Each structure stands twice: as C-alpha cells, then as structure tokens.
Amino acid sequence: MCGRPLLMVCVCLDCYLAVVHPITYRTRKSMTPRVVMAAIVWTLTVAYGLVSMTHPHLYITMLIPAPFIVAIPMIGVCDYFILHTLIKSEQGKKNIHPQKQRALQTLINSLVLTLVSYLPPVLMYIFGLSLISDIQILLCVISIPATITSSLGSAVMPLLYLHNIGKLDRFRCGCCRKT
C-alpha cells in the first residue's frame, strides 16, 4: 500500500530528469541518488507497515491514504512535464518516431492507471473517514475495496508495459496478431 506509489514517484522523477533535463541526467549518472531514494522509500514502507500492524486504530486516520496523497500530485506533475516535452519536440513533424510513440503510449497508460488505481482509495478514505467512525465498518466498507483497487494497478501495469514493448504478441490469437 505504501511502497508502490512512493517507488512510482522515484521512477517518475528519474524519467522526468531523463526526458526534461537530459544533459544534467547524462552528466550525473551516478546510481547513488537512486539507491538512496529507494532505501528511503523501503524504510518508510517498513515503518508504515509496522505502525499499521501494531496500531490498527490508525486505519481511521489519514495515515493510510498519505502515501497516495503524496504520490498522485508528484506523478501527475512529472508525467505532465514529460508529456509536454515529448509532444513539444515533435511540433511540425507529420510522423512521430516509433520509439517516442511507444514512450508516449507507456506514459499515458501509466498516468491513467495511476489515477484509476490510486485516486479511488484516496477518495474512499477521505469521504469514508468523515462518514464512518467505527473501525470494523471502515475496514470492511473502505479498506478492502481500496486495497483491491490499488492492487489492480500492480497487476495491470506490468502487463501494459509488456504489451507496449511487444512481448505479449505471441499470446494473441491468429486474427489479432500484428502483421
């Protein structure tokens, strides 16, 4: 619940730097900032999990949707600037390079899937916390659907990525294959 959105923020920040600031990105290709960011995210994830397990009453606070509330705007802003940069560089051209077209498709799929899988849990918690005060009802009515919704993104996003790079073509039926 906590690690995936925050790791997605790390990936989006890395992509943002690579696309929007390519010269800076290439001159500073050290793995240290990436490892530090991942270590911070994993530390926060473990702490978040331990606190959630030891203090179940925190399910009726804003602690649960906090990673999503942090992640959604950051992913949205990074993806917006990446899309803007990719589209801006193609103005006046009739054909978009296939690699750039795949990048745009992957980015749009990621953004849509992020919004579809992360926004409903946030909205469920925000409105649910104001309407439901009993922790058992909150767990049944809000937490389980929110967990399912956000977990679907974890299952679907890798499949979309594999589809975009053409690795799922062999599983299509004969009439659906690309020629």
Q: What is the pLDDT along the chain (179 residues), one digit of tens a residue?
A: 778 888 888 888 988 988 899 888 888 878 888 899 989 999 999 998 888 888 877 766 777 788 888 889 999 999 999 998 888 866 666 677 778 887 888 888 888 888 888 888 888 888 877 787 777 777 777 777 777 887 777 777 777 777 766 777 766 655 555 55
Per-residue CA distances from 6 to 11, 13, 122, 171 (Å): 9, 11, 15, 32
CB atoms inside a 10 Å sphere around CB 153: 20
Tell me if residue 80 falls in helix, strand or coil: helix
Alpha-carbon gap, residue 107 to 167, rounded angstroms: 18
Residue with the two structure tokens 């979309």: 160
CA dihedral defined by 39, 42, 47, 48, rounded to 10 degrees? 140
- Cα four-point dihedral sign 47, 49, 51, 54: negative
pTM of the model: 0.78
Comparing CA positions, the residue from 152, 159, 82, 79 lying closest to residue 119 is 152
